[in-house]
Structure 1
Amino acid sequence: MNGVKFIRENGGLARQLSGNDHISGLIVYGEPDVEKKLVLSVKEADAISASNPVLFYHVQEFFRINEGAKLYIQGVLNTDGKFTEVKNLQNFAEGNIRQLAVCDFESGANTLTASVATLQQIALDLGKRNIPLSLLLSVGIKAIDIPALPNLHLFNADRVSVVLGQDAGGKGKFLAQTNPSVSCIGAVLGCVSKAKVQESIAWVEKQNLVSTAYPKAETDNKEVARELDILGFADGSKIEDYTPSQLDSIHDKGYLFGTKYTGITGSYLNDSFAAEPLTSDFAFIENNRTIDKAIREVNRVLLPKVSGPAYVDPDTGMIQATTASALESICDEALDQMVRDGEVSGYKVYINPAQQILKTSNLEVVLKLVPVGTLREITVKIGLTLQK
């Protein structure tokens, strides 16, 4: 029909999300250097689209999943395997990054174990400065590597998760023709930033990975599927080419990738694993993000008290009970808000008054958090009967 057509476009106002839990970082190794910068939308990264197509793609994917978030980015041509840029980017962001993705598509699977260990130590170092973060990692993967991938649940790297998934029908597939193993780490980072700290990034009701297809001009003018509607792995293979038992084997090793569910459209992450034993309290991303937020919140209220006076009982030399109680109360204030926001189920703050501050100038505070559970499996018993 002839006439004038109008198309409503979203995102022009660049409205930002409230809070800080969505603040993220992204570093891509293997493309020309891009100086550290904060981007608030895809448009602000347009200048790198030609020189750094992988970095730009992951920026697009991040904002496709979580529009309105804040993203610090950096491109690095060569890596020495030390990932010092992670610390530098966190410092550039003044410690505000909550989750950061490292896409090292130039390095092979043989570097995976060392890279996970290095990133874990970086996360521990940052944690000691009370600026903790969760890390995502993807590396170059070939078909021959898939069966021999190490079991991440045998690692002790609770701050690191490894992304193995990749788009197999859209722009990700197109880019992988010239940049193998681009992965879907940008989309996964978007999921982490979108989720509340207590939520799994694999929550089916909330975290559908499929929303739109990219313009044909960005995919060599070919017809393409919606991004992550056709799922694969970073070696270029498709999920549909694997048997259920093979997929279970990769899942059981703790890698993150996309999956489909019968009876519902869309694509979803298989889980929220960290490279940590499943028996650990910190085996999943949401466990770590929850305790990280508690650390930041309690640090925020306790830090002003550092080097302040601490009154003691003149008869015992121990800290006064009223002083201990007052400090407990300010911690309660921070954690009460987390309870109200549904981020923890409950908590306990305790300061033992039998502490000789005059001798040590050190005060020990004990925090115990009751986390929010995650329904990873639902078992339904069903059968036929003569009567209900």
Structure 2
Amino acid sequence: MNGVKFIRENGGLARQLSGNDHISGLIVYGESDVPRRLVLSASEVEEFALNSPVLVYHVQEFFRINEGAKLYIQSRLMADWMYTEIKSLQNLAEGNIRQIAIYDTSLSMGMINSNVSNLQQVAVELSNQNIPLSILLAGPLMENDIPALSDLHNLNADRVSVVVGQDIGGKGDYLSRRNGIYRGVSCIGAVLGAVSKAKVQESIGWVEKQNLVSTAYPKPIEATTEMARELDVLGFSDGTKISDYTPAQLQSIHEKGYIFGTKYTGIAGSYLNDSFTATKLTSDFAYIENNRTVDKAIREVNKVLLPKVSGPAYVDPDTGKIQASTASALESICDDVLDQMVRNGELSGYKVVINPDQPILKTSKLEVVLRLVPVGTLREITVKIGLTLQK
């Protein structure tokens, strides 16, 4: 029909989310240098589309999943695989980055374990400065790499996760094929968006909340076909589709601790298989949400205890140990911030313990013990069903 057609667009007001849990970082290695900066929307990086298309794509994907978040970005032509740029980007953000994605075009299957270890070292160094973060790693993989991937649960890198998922049919697939040789760009931007969108206690695999499919990108002039909705057709960063694999093969990749997109029968959309970190499953920090919960508690408790450093600590004149009232006062200020995390649903419970039997006059040191009860995650639900003559 003839007439005037209006299309209502969203995002022009650039409204920002509250809090800091969504503040994220993204570094791409292997494209033209883009200096460190903060971006608040995908439109702010359009000028880099020609020379840094992968960076722009992952920024777009991040904001597609979690509009209103804050993202610090950088692109480097070369990587030294020590990833010192993470520290520089965290410094620019004044320590506020909670999760960061690293896409490295030079990454190969044989380098995954060593690069994960290097990233873990960076994360540990930042954690020792009380500015912890979670790290995602991705890169292009070659044909037949996926079945031969090593088991990440044999590593000891509980702050690092490896993303091998890929869009097949949308812009991610188009960028991967644009040079005639398939070099997967992965879906790490969308995964980073999912992490920033989730509350610290939530798994990025939460089906009810984390559908990755929303819209399709406009078709480039040189493209011959229309693009599918992004991440509606799923695969791996070697260009294979998840439909190319048997359920047993997909389960094997899942059990090795990698993150990728998956489908569920009976519900539309695409979802992440889980939130693994590169460590043994028996670890308390085997999943991203475990790290993010503890990291938030560290930041919040540090915020209230730091002003007390080098302050007076009164002692019992009869024992020379810290006064019980002083210990109780310090426990109380820790209680306040952890109480808030419980009210926010980020913790199930906690206990703060300061043993008053500590020789403060001799050591000038005080030990505080925090015991956190996390929120569980329903990773598998078993339903017993059968026919009967009566209920």
For the aligned pair, the TM-score class normalised by the smaller chain equals over 0.9
Once the two structures are TM-superposed, the CA of residue 51 in structure 1 deviates from its matched residue by 1.1
Q: Quick one: which amino acid aligns to residue 344 of structure 2?
A: D
Gaps of 5+ in 1: none
Q: Which runs of 4+ in 1 moved over 3 A?
A: none
Q: Which moved more, 1:175-184 or 1:294-303?
A: 175-184
TM-score norm. by structure 1 comes to 0.99
Deviation at 1:5, TM superposition (A): 1.3
1:199 to 177, 202, 215: 202
Letter in 1 for 2:104: D
Q: CA RMSD in A?
A: 0.9
SS of 2:72 mapped into structure 1: strand
Q: Is the alpha carbon distance of 1:218 and 1:305 closer, same or farther for their aligned partners in structure 2, counting shifts above 3 Å?
A: farther
Quote the residue 1:99 is aligned against. Answer: 99
Partner of 2:319: 316
- For residues 42 and 53 of structure 2, what CA distance do their matches in structure 1 show? 13
173-182 or 360-369: which moved more?
173-182
* Number of residue pairs aligned between Structure 1 and Structure 2: 388
Q: Which moved more, 1:102-111 or 1:24-33?
A: 102-111
Post-superposition CA distance 1:144-181 (Å, at most 9, x none): 22222110011110000000000001000000013612
Look up the equivalent residue of 2:160 and give its one-letter code.
Answer: V
Q: Structure 2: 5+ residue runs without aligned partners?
A: none
Residue 342 of structure 1 is matched in structure 2 by 345
Query: Aligned residue for 2:264?
Result: 261
Q: Aligned partners of 1:249 and 1:105: how far apart in 2? A: 25
Displacement of 1:221: 5.6
Partner of 1:48: 48
**Match for residue 185 of structure 2?**
182
Deviation at 1:274, TM superposition (A): 0.4
Q: Deviations over 1:311-340 (max 9, x none)?
A: 011110000000000000000000000000
How far apart are the structure 2 equivalents of 1:56 and 1:139? 16
Shift in alpha-carbon separation, 1:219–1:354, aligned structure 2, 3 A: farther
Query: What is the alpha-carbon distance in structure 1 between the residues aligned to residue 221 and residue 18 of structure 2?
Result: 32
Amino acid in structure 2 at the alignment position of 1:316 = T
Amino acid at match of 1:198: Q
TM-score, scaled to structure 2: 0.98
- CA shift for structure 1 position 53: 0.2
Residue matched to 1:170: 170
Q: In the alignment, does 2:374 pair up with 1:365?
A: no
**1:60-71 paired onto structure 2 within 5 Å:** 60-71=60-71
Which residue in 1 is equivalent to 2:154?
Answer: 154
Shift of 1:106: 2.4
**Partner of 1:244 in structure 2?**
247
- Is residue 381 from structure 1 mapped to residue 356 from structure 2 by the alignment? no
Report the equivalent of 1:333: 336
Q: Is the 8 A contact 2:173 2:184 kept in 1?
A: no
Structure 2 residue aligned with 1:290, among 293, 316, 339?
293
Q: Provide the identity percentage.
A: 73
CA contact (8 A) 1:116 1:160 kept: yes
Give the secondary-structure state (helix, strand or coil) at the position aligned to 1:75: strand
Q: Distance in 2 between matches of 1:276 and 1:123?
A: 14
SS at match of 1:27: strand
CA contact (8 A) 2:210 2:271 kept: yes
For 2:320, the aligned partner's letter is G
Contact 1:159 1:274 in 2 (8 A): yes
Q: CA deviation at 1:140?
A: 2.5
In the other structure, the counterpart of 2:36 is 36
8 Å Cα contact 1:109/1:139 also seen in 2 = no
Q: Which amino acid counterpart does residue 126 of structure 2 have in structure 1?
A: L
How many angstroms apart in 2 are the aligned matches of 1:351 and 1:221? 67
1:116 positional shift:
0.2
Alpha-carbon distance change, 221 to 42 in structure 1, aligned in 2, over 3 angstroms:
farther
Distance between the aligned counterparts of 1:144 and 1:9, measured in 2? Answer: 42
